[in-house]
Amino acid sequence: MDENRAVRVVDALRERGVDAHVAKVSVYQFGIRVMLSGGRQAEWDTDNTAGLEAQVMRNGILVGFVPTIEGSEDFDDQQTIEAIWHTDYDQPIATRRTTPPPPTPALPREGGVFRRFLGGFRER
């Protein structure tokens, strides 16, 4: 996932109240980190594969995962957002909910007033 796409997806998830962040895994390698209850976090698409999948970690230890979603290599931003938002992380092998989770208040965008500065003025 490229950086600009990761930022767009994170912004949309935060508008829905999901505690999402851009995960900078390596040089030019980005993904999405979703903070979960119990000190867990889901790391989406950090391995540069075509499909959308996630690892659920707690204290650096794998405690669950989201298998690769069928057809996700062709997802646009909106489909990616919906897939992440509708995932139920309560089981070791996460599944997708058929209905959206209950609404929660929106979270502010990452970066605040320094967002463009920290991003190297690349954001459009």
Give domain status of residue 112, yes or no.
Answer: no
At 25-57, the pLDDT tens digits run 888 889 999 999 999 999 998 887 788 999 999
> Is-contact 89 42, C-beta < 8 A?
yes
| CA 73 distance to own-chain centroid | 15
pLDDT at 93: 93
- pLDDT band, very low/low/confident/very high, at 122 (cuts 50, 70, 90): low
- pLDDT band, very low/low/confident/very high, at 124 (cuts 50, 70, 90): low
Give domain status of residue 66, yes or no.
Answer: yes
Give every CB contact of residue 51 below 8 A, 6+ residues apart in sequence: 68, 69, 72, 73
Give domain status of residue 115, yes or no.
Answer: no
Domain, as residue range, for 83:
3-98
Domain count, the chain: 1
**For the residues 80-96, what does the mean pLDDT come to?**
92
How much is the pTM? 0.85
Give domain status of residue 80, yes or no.
Answer: yes
